[in-house]
Chain A
């Protein structure tokens, strides 16, 4: 067996083992983080306040937004709901 072929085989064994070790770490770390978070910080994101319906939006603001959307989309778009991005 030539030296170069031996080097190739070494690269293959070391490379594949390292990839598998790192992916095992990915799996292990992922599971550990999930268990830790589930135990100590189980609450999900706070539920967002229900979106304001167009009726609750200031009519002047509504008209300006609708006009801007109509201008940008060439009259094809329309406003379905308006939400405040926190």
Chain B
């Protein structure tokens, strides 16, 4: 009997029965895996995150990320990476070297930049303003979260979900409230996957049939743009260089994200000159970064950290931030339409939150439902891409004011 008892203690069964939270987290990991594999919700991120959750919660596996207090030494110093790896395992090594240092989100942003085409935005520059209006959800939820008892840093990390930009949300949370990294990353990526549900929900609530039918190309014919771009290739090369420098002067704290985004874009626009760099940024580097980011973020979600009231607050608050951001963009276009002869389809405003390019595709499909000739994808991409810049700037402001 004592042998059986020892065997029971030696295996993970004893922990599974004594700590129900572990089982719950394994189920949560299973559900996230199902959403990633079965429902195809952002599988590139959700699958590593879900597997990270499972690995972190397997009793005795030593793959869970430990709180920062455990690696702190006296005098504000930290254990070195060798000590972290030998005491707490490889997942903590990955987390504290690649995530906690804020290294991976800008690296992913470089890949995003190399995949982004600023062309649609440059052709429709005035639509960029709607990417700004759609950041209102970030700050509205920040206020609400503070009223509900979240600290300012936690509230800012929660609000940034409304930027609909995974790397930005993760970067801001690492800087301001790293203990909430797991649930915030999950909420951000889950809602980004649910963009095809959330945008129609908000748009149907706020828009009239007449507005859905505003045909952007007809408006362009009625009121043509003042000037055409004669040498788009050169404009696309100059734009990231000049914008990067100017933005850095105004909001220095947004440079790690925006600077890398614009660098990635530059190496793409230089064409064959730097094609190998662009290939590396969008391929091996971005994919490797995504694997480590996903696994390590998942590994922060141990049962003692995740199963709290705050997680529910983050899930609800994240949804509100998303919905308010979409509504902000729509309302901004409606106000613009009151004063302008040239009307804009408010769906263009709805894509002002990032989630590139899914938000634009969803808005385009909605417009086509009402008018099969109304292709608004290029117009939506303009506000969509400016939304990426807007959310990175908002993150920079929050970090610089709260850190």
Chain B's interface: helix, strand, loop or mixed, by majority? helix
Complex Cα distance, B355 from A65, in Å, reads 40
**Cβ proximity bits B270-296 to A, threshold 8 Å, 1 near / 0 not:** 001000000000000000000000000
With A25-B250, A27-B128, A85-B272 as contacts: A12 and B234 at CB distance below 8 Å: no
Q: Is A75 at the interface (CB under 8 A from chain B)?
A: no
Q: Is A82 at the interface (CB under 8 A from chain B)?
A: no
Of listed A10, A27, A34, A41, residue having the most chain B CB within 10 A: A34
We find that the number of chain A residues with CB closer than 8 angstroms to chain B is: 36
Cβ–Cβ < 8 Å partners of A9 in chain B? 143
In the complex, the chain A residue whose C-beta lies closest to that of B118 is A30
**Cβ proximity bits A59-84 to B, threshold 8 Å, 1 near / 0 not:** 00000000000000000000000000
Q: Is A52 at the interface (CB under 8 A from chain B)?
A: no
Complex Cα distance, B125 from A18, in Å, reads 18
Binds A, one of B99-107, B367-375, B386-394: B386-394
A4 touches B125 (CB 8 A): no
A33 touches B239 (CB 8 A): yes
A12 touches B143 (CB 8 A): yes
Q: Of A12, A16, A33, A45, which is within 8 A of B238 by CB?
A: A33
Cβ–Cβ < 8 Å partners of B135 in chain A? 15-16, 19
Nearest chain A CB to B239's CB is how many angstroms away? 6
A38 touches B231 (CB 8 A): yes
**Cβ proximity bits B125-144 to A, threshold 8 Å, 1 near / 0 not:** 11011011001101110110
Q: Of B138, B156, B251, B398, which is within 8 A of A22 by CB?
A: B251
Binds A, one of B206-214, B241-249, B300-308: B241-249
Nearest chain B CB to A2's CB is how many angstroms away? 9
Nearest chain B CB to A4's CB is how many angstroms away? 5
Cβ–Cβ < 8 Å partners of B363 in chain A? none
Contacts of A7-28 to chain B: CB distance below 8 A: 7-12, 14-16, 18-27
**Cβ proximity bits B218-247 to A, threshold 8 Å, 1 near / 0 not:** 000000000111111111001100110011
In the complex, the chain B residue whose C-beta lies closest to that of A85 is B272
Q: Is A50 at the interface (CB under 8 A from chain B)?
A: no
Q: Of A18, A26, A43, which is within 8 A of B231 by CB?
A: A43
Cβ–Cβ < 8 Å partners of A43 in chain B? 230-231
Nearest chain B CB to A81's CB is how many angstroms away? 19
14 A-B Cβ contacts within 8 A?
A4-B152, A8-B155, A12-B139, A14-B397, A15-B135, A16-B135, A27-B129, A30-B128, A30-B239, A33-B235, A34-B122, A37-B235, A38-B230, A45-B231
Binding site for A on B (CB under 8 A): 121-122, 125-126, 128-129, 131-132, 135-136, 138-140, 142-143, 146-147, 152, 155-156, 227-235, 238-239, 242-243, 246-247, 250-251, 272, 386, 389-390, 393-394, 396-398, 401-402
